[in-house]
Amino acid sequence: MFASHFSAHNIPFGIASSEGHPRRSAATRLENTVIYLDELAKHDLLSSLPKEALDAFSHVDLNGFAALPKSIHQQTRAALQSLFKEPLASLPAGCTDKLNNVTMHLPVSSRDFTDFSCSKDHVLNAGEAIQKKRYLPPGFLHFPIGYSGRTCSLIVSGTSFVRPKGQFRDAQGSIVYGPTKQLDYELELACIIGKPTKLGETVASKHADDHIFGYVLMNDWSARDIQGLEMPPLGPLNGKSFATSLSPWIITLDALQASAVEGQPRELQVASYLMDSNPINSYDIALQADLITGGKSTIICKSNLNAMYWTFRDLVVHQSSNGCCLNTGDILATGTISGSTDDSHGCLLELTNGGQYSFELSDGQSRIYIEDGDEIQISALASDGVGFGECTGKVLPADL
Amino acid sequence: MFASHFSAHNIPFGIASSEGHPRRSAATRLENTVIYLDELAKHDLLSSLPKEALDAFSHVDLNGFAALPKSIHQQTRAALQSLFKEPLASLPAGCTDKLNNVTMHLPVSSRDFTDFSCSKDHVLNAGEAIQKKRYLPPGFLHFPIGYSGRTCSLIVSGTSFVRPKGQFRDAQGSIVYGPTKQLDYELELACIIGKPTKLGETVASKHADDHIFGYVLMNDWSARDIQGLEMPPLGPLNGKSFATSLSPWIITLDALQASAVEGQPRELQVASYLMDSNPINSYDIALQADLITGGKSTIICKSNLNAMYWTFRDLVVHQSSNGCCLNTGDILATGTISGSTDDSHGCLLELTNGGQYSFELSDGQSRIYIEDGDEIQISALASDGVGFGECTGKVLPADL
């Protein structure tokens, strides 16, 4: 699946294991082949790289590698691209595995995770769905608003989870306790922090990219009914913290460079610390969400990262603007990536206008929110052909 | 300071180092003496304890020890109490240090941190201060509301921090960027998770205490102006994530058992998962906050944990009720602990009614919010005489 996303222009980084390679280690992917970086290092096939990179390839997460200078990431990319000019079959036994034989793991160990709200369309549509009015929160045009998520809820693509229980208002407005009746997905991208900062340090916009190791897909599963009751005034907690899916392959800034574009214009002048003198501050990345049930797939959203009002550089700058530190492996996510059209709603809250309308699946069934057994697959492809593969998750019935 | 809090009835756990004991390790405290548990283990003075406990004493955080069964924590407590029947001077050289010579560190490594809102008085007073109306959020009487905090902002007592910058409304209502003008403290207690749970697992009320390793003081420093602008609708982020102080000594449930009391009655029947069949669900713990400036101290709050509407057991149960996991070292905090009287406001937002009134310091100065150079000290003492010592932090001028 998605083999074409992973040409030699991509060179993503992930953590993989298999029966033949039982210990988790750093890996990359070329089409449908996974290549273990620790094995390449053992066979002296990456001898141009510094020892700290080679050592980091045998860690169980990418944090050690991600924290190294960006120049080492670039050297690694170049060394792998050079190696892949020869057929993979010429690599020593044990260096590669077919994707189907491999288990992918969370690529990094994350200590903190912020989910921002970068999409103006999402915020306006969500306001209409919930409060019957299209409006922006008071801070929205001034800085990226966001909330801290719970890192223990992070799961890797392909992991199923149980429908969460909680308290919410039923149709009559009474507060009841039970399995959520409004399970939703959120189509997102997230950046993973490489170079860390210290508490008290701020990051200037021109240095923000230096702190980003790369990007992954994220599905911020949401129980809208639980979330709706708990949000005022402290924001979401149990409506989100039961599962958050990440794609396993981290796509680097270098891989996406050819797809970099100008982001959306500012509607208000922003504070000095958020001024970005480099207008090429976004990426042309097409995103898609599919609902899969009974083996049949239905496209439920097509949108683009470039519709976002706030950029990843803005997120890094704003998060650190109060002296908050960034640790390697930290995750800063976009929030739901919606566009302005009816087919670009990045969550069901928007698509069904708060549960008012149902939508049809390709097999003739209909849905308002996600039902037990449904699987959501999100995927992303940059304009230059570099892709993220997929991020999937299936909902299991609640424990009763 | 606070030597009387640390009699042999206490036996707290912390992480300490000193010139003579440069590597951080587990420690306990008796009055003003710090006793290194790894040294006691080396000298075979804790030979009744299992090897996994002895090994954990040389870790740089208490996570390994905290994750062990509660029976091992109790054995450790008993072994130390037995050892302390003899004068400390009889212990081998290197086992003890005077408190003044010791550097205390964060006691645990924390992956997730939730700050709840357990005090009805705080919520009513904060509503009055900010919105000129006393009201409870819709969920408040149904479950403990809360938000995820950022673990990278956790600092140990005694650590100074720089006044944070951010965007907020000035007196004319314009949104400006600069150092916060409304720096506040929040008097809190927090529990530290010992026994972890897995994603998808829930915790029954009768088992909640099994997951709590112990308690610490917390000062959830808050920039009210930054927080006020960013909160709608996703909750606090940069108004909180610049610094959160923790006291270094973890006080166990066993140490507090003699101070356990009945908590506040429920005003509404709660959902089944929050029903606690054990009415002894809170502690009689007196808390105090002092503002120290120019060497002079002023008491600014006296309150009690037992005024809280929600208990620590409720926090553990609610956090896990959606299947959210708890990891060893995770922190679940009470939010501001305020009482119903004018001298029991656990933050300046309440004390000054949103900045409307100033208050006098013992040296004749006045304050509305915290000024550069001010130090806040919070402390807590349970009715049976077991105490938490202090949690302090000083504010340095903003970087300009």
Q: What is the pLDDT of residue A1?
A: 79
Query: What's the one-letter identity of residue A275?
Result: M
Q: Output the 3-class SS for B33-63.
A: EEEEHHHHHHCCCCCCCCHHHHHHCCCCCCH
Q: What is the pLDDT of residue A210?
A: 98
Top-level class of domain B113-396 = alpha beta
CB B79 within 8 A of CB B91: no
Residues of chain A with CATH 2.30.30.230: 3-105
What stretch of H or E contains A80?
A: helix A70-83
A199–B152 CB contact, under 8 Å: yes
Give the separation between CA A61 and CA A66, rounded to whole angstroms. 9
Tokens coding B84: 């302390």
Q: What is the pLDDT of residue B1?
A: 79
Q: pLDDT tens across B356-383, in order? A: 999 999 999 999 999 999 999 999 999 9
Q: pLDDT tens across A14-24, in order? A: 999 999 999 99
Q: pLDDT tens across B262-310, in order? A: 999 999 999 999 999 999 999 999 999 999 999 999 999 999 999 999 9
Give the separation between CA B75 and CA B49, rounded to whole angstroms. 7
Q: Per-residue pLDDT averaged across A99-116, rounded?
A: 98
Residues of A in contact with B137 (CB under 8 A): 232-233
B234–A153 CB contact, under 8 Å: no
Question: Is pLDDT of A250 > 80?
Answer: yes
Give the separation between CA B76 and CA B78, rounded to whole angstroms. 5
Q: Per-residue pLDDT averaged across A125-130, rounded?
A: 95
Torsion of CA B317, B321, B324, B325, to 10 degrees: 40
Q: String of b and e for A214-251 (b: at least 16 CB within 10 Å)?
A: bbbbbbbbbbbbbbbbbbbbbbbbbbbbbbbbbbbbbb
Distance in Å, alpha carbon of B272 to nearest chain A alpha carbon: 8
Residue A82 CA: distances (Å) to CA of A6, B70, B339: 15, 55, 68
Q: What is the pLDDT of residue B20?
A: 97
Mutation target vs A (from B154, B220, B237, B317; most A CBs, 10 A cutoff): B237
> Which of the residues A122, A211, A318, A345 is marked catalytic?
A122
Residues of chain A with CATH 3.90.850.10: 113-396
Mutation target vs A (from B106, B131, B198, B238; most A CBs, 10 A cutoff): B238
Chain B residue with the nearest C-alpha to that of A140: B230
Q: CA nearest A145: which of A269, A337, A336, A318?
A: A318
CATH architecture for the domain at B3-105 = Roll (2.30)
Tokens coding A58: 């045998």
Question: Is pLDDT of A399 > 90?
Answer: no
**What ipTM was predicted for this assembly?**
0.97
A137–B233 CB contact, under 8 Å: yes
Q: What is the pLDDT of residue A39?
A: 98
CB B251 within 8 A of CB B258: no
CB A269 within 8 A of CB A177: no
Residue A222 CA: distances (Å) to CA of A148, A181, A239, A336, B322: 14, 11, 6, 11, 11
Q: pLDDT tens across B177-234, in order? A: 999 999 999 999 999 999 999 999 999 999 999 999 999 999 999 999 999 999 999 9
**In degrees rounded to 5, what are phi and psi of residue B267?**
-90, -20
Name the pLDDT band for B399 (thresholds 50, 70, 90): confident
Give the separation between CA B355 and CA B342, rounded to whole angstroms. 15
Q: What angle do CA B257, B258, B261 make, to 5 degrees?
A: 85
Mean pLDDT of chain A: 97
Name the pLDDT band for B400 (thresholds 50, 70, 90): confident
What are B116's strand-pairing partners? B146
